[in-house]
Each structure stands twice: as C-alpha cells, then as structure tokens.
C-alpha cells in the first residue's frame, strides 16, 4: 500500500488546555469566537471529547499575526 502524496496531515490533535496555552485566550473567549466564526471549530472525538487540529490553530495564529481575524467569507 503506497502513501497518497496529495494527502496533507493536519498535524496532531490539540486538547482545549493546549489551545488555551498556544493562543493565550481563555476558554470562554475561544468558544465565543467559535460561535462568531472567528476561531477554528473543534472536532468531536466521541465520548464527549473534542479537539482542534494543530493546522487549524497554526493558521489562526498566523492570521492573528497578520491582523486578519475577521470571520472567513
């Protein structure tokens, strides 16, 4: 079985505490911004657990650095 060269891994999955640490945002702010569409959505893992992809958080951080945190169109 060969690897798909077009597949790009989103990196590791991050728990909420990791996202808080990496973004310096509080939990309430993260969820409020998710609801506003200005922060990446988390993904359900089952059993009530959720996580964010590292790629999504890295992209958000880059937009923050560039001053472009408006909701995506």
Q: What is the pLDDT along the chain (73 residues), one digit of tens a residue?
A: 556 667 666 689 999 999 999 999 999 999 999 999 999 999 999 999 999 999 999 999 999 999 887 655 4
The number of domains in the chain is 1
Query: Under a CB-based contact definition with an 8 Å cutoff, are residues 43 and 52 in contact?
Result: yes
SS3 at position 54: helix
Query: Under a CB-based contact definition with an 8 Å cutoff, are residues 73 and 33 in contact?
Result: no
What confidence score (pLDDT) does residue 4 get?
66
What confidence score (pLDDT) does residue 25 get?
97
Neighbours of 39 (CB within 10 A): 23
Give the CATH number for residue 46. 1.10.238
Residue 18: burial class (beta carbons within 10 Å; 0-12, 13-18, 19+): middle
What confidence score (pLDDT) does residue 10 get?
67
2 occurs within a structural domain: no
Neighbours of 54 (CB within 10 A): 17
pTM reported for the whole predicted model: 0.80
7 occurs within a structural domain: no
What confidence score (pLDDT) does residue 71 get?
58
What confidence score (pLDDT) does residue 68 get?
83
* Structural domain range at position 32: 13-66
57 occurs within a structural domain: yes
């Amino acid at each position: 079985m060969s690897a798909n060269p077009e597949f790009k891994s989103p990196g590791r999955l991050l728990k909420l505490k990791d996202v808080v640490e990496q973004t310096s945002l509080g939990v309430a702010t993260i969820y409020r911004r998710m609801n506003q569409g200005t922060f990446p959505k988390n993904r359900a893992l089952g059993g009530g657990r959720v996580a964010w992809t590292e790629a999504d958080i890295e992209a958000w951080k880059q937009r923050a650095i560039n001053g472009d945190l408006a909701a995506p169109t």
